[in-house]
Amino acid sequence: MTRLFNDPAAFADEMIEGFVASHSRWVRRVSGGVVRNTQSTPSTVALVIGGGSGHYPAFAGLVGQGLAHGAAMGNLFASPSAQQIYNVAKAANNGGGVLLGYGNYAGDVLHFNQAQARLRAEGIDCRSIAVTDDVSSAPPAEHAKRRGIAGDLTVFKVAAAAAEAGYSMDRTIEIAERANHRTRSFGVAFTGCTLPGADHPLFSVPEGRMAVGMGIHGEPGIGETDIPTADELAELLVAKLLTEIPERQPGEAAGAAARSRVVPILNGLGSVKYEELFVVYRRVAQLLAEAGLEAVDPQVGELVTSFDMAGTSLTLFWLDEELETLWHAPADAPAFRRGAVTADALEPADFTDPAEIEASIPDASDESRAGAIRVLAALGAAKNVVDANAEELGRIDAVAGDGDHGIGMERGVRAAVDAAAAAVARGAGAATTLHLAGDAWADKAGGTSGALWGMALRAVGDALGNTNAPDAGAVAAGVAGAAAAIMDFGKATPGDKTLVDVLVPFRDALAGGVDAGQSLADSWGAAATVAQQAAEDTAQLLPLMGRARPHAEKSLGTPDAGAVSMALIVRAIHNTLVEEKSVKENA
């Protein structure tokens, strides 16, 4: 378990602070993560990688000359927000475009795509590579649905080397995609991992058993077996990966020589000791040789971890001549070094973090400022109900996901309340208050739910505006806008077992009440009852989106955590509307 922490909610920030303090030769901190502390060649591609914290050396440990130019660092097991990614990318940009690299998880895809769109809108050439190396997370025919685990390293290393060598953006992304196509990984775990402040692991494995196909966020494996010997484990890992030798691509050289050299990476997930890994790798090396494969520059150690999870994964990176040259290119990062690099000059001391400029507060009417106070009260009610139910939300999420929904919701709603309070104190109207609260929620929560809740608050703010007093019609329009934005961006529809299964019937019930001439409080109350029933009904659905999808059957009988949290929040907000209505009637 994780023993050394202060406030669990501050763990990621304090970890980054300590990392930068101890590695200032390589990195400097910016809002959202870290960037190189050295100057890069102008007009070259910048590689910005990222993901949730809790996986060191990924991602910050791979920032340095010959490797990444920056890393966006989300909260524990939660993707960085679009704002964090944007901040890091702006700070890392050398003028030759930005390549974003990340593991293929729903939250990461959402946030990195948002940041990419924003960078492109500013005229910056921005591309993305989502790593998909984990063979256990989807069949070969659905390769694009696979998640990224320790194969992140191979893709990031060769893409970074290409950028360092002055390759164009087109050539750099081609290298990254080729490396991703030629990388396969498979992992196992013996125990779960425990987040700071938690009194039990995200999942457990029965004593004497091994979970097969484990994900780096603590996602349950696809099966269990008795714990094997070290040799038997090596045989399992190698046999699985050798069933998935990458297909030859158009233009690739034919013949055995083009398919006989591999980089093997035996990765420890957190608490398997190096000595144990060496015993396993001894047999891995024998098996690769017996299969006619030459192991090139083997890596054995902790490269992509999962806090204190006891487990390991094997990655095979199938080389060609160009990829091998780029793999061996010099690199100097805190956690990965190859050859010798010529030290670049440090960045100037007057470096400015792109996030340091405070947003201005637009003018607002007195009626809208009064509405902003009511918005703050509603967010406060949401915070209270999330705080009271965070542990249960995490338990529900852990059934088929990674168990961090409660923690993420706490971080998001607390940040939203703080941002809203600051906005109200500066005289903001309802729209501005909701916009800043939504941005703060997305920024601090990260993950898919952070992106969606941030989007929802912004949509409601757009409908309310900063001029008129918020009324029932505007609120209903805002909820409709939130539903449309979430479904368009997240691609979930009713029946996929997500918060959309609550949001859509809530939207319809609210609109129906408002159209019938009911007050906002009455309409919202009736819609909240519909939302609660809809959340309960998700227990009978199979998840078709997100991290729970590969373990759909395990979630049958348990409601979706995102749906439950939304139902709780809309009910809590109704209580504030009832109180407001009572005050007005008795005034």
Phi-psi region of 497 (alpha: psi -120 to 50; beta: other; left: phi over 0): left
Strands 33-36 and 70-76, bridge-based pairing:
antiparallel
Least Cα distance to 392 among 585, 519, 220, 564 occurs for 564
The C-alpha atoms of residue 404 and residue 406 are separated, in whole angstroms, by 6
Is 328 annotated in the active site? Answer: no
Q: How many CB atoms lie within 10 A of CB 537?
A: 16
Element (H, E) at 37: none
Strands 46-53 and 98-103, bridge-based pairing:
parallel
- Is the Cβ–Cβ distance between 38 and 346 less than 8 Å? yes
The C-alpha atoms of residue 240 and residue 251 are separated, in whole angstroms, by 27
Amino acid at 486: I
- Is the Cβ–Cβ distance between 49 and 102 less than 8 Å? yes
DSSP label at residue 68: B
Distance spanning both ends of the chain, measured CA to CA = 55
Distances (CA, A) of 122 to 43, 97, 99, 119: 16, 11, 15, 5
Dihedral angle sign, alpha carbons of residues 163, 165, 169, 174: negative
Of the listed 23, 55, 69, 217, which one is catalytic? 217
Which residue is listed with tokens 């005050």?
583
- Is the Cβ–Cβ distance between 304 and 314 less than 8 Å? no
Burial (CB count <10 Å: 0-12, 13-18, 19+), residue 43: exposed
Displacement of CA 557 from its chain's centroid (Å): 26
Active site residues per annotation: 217
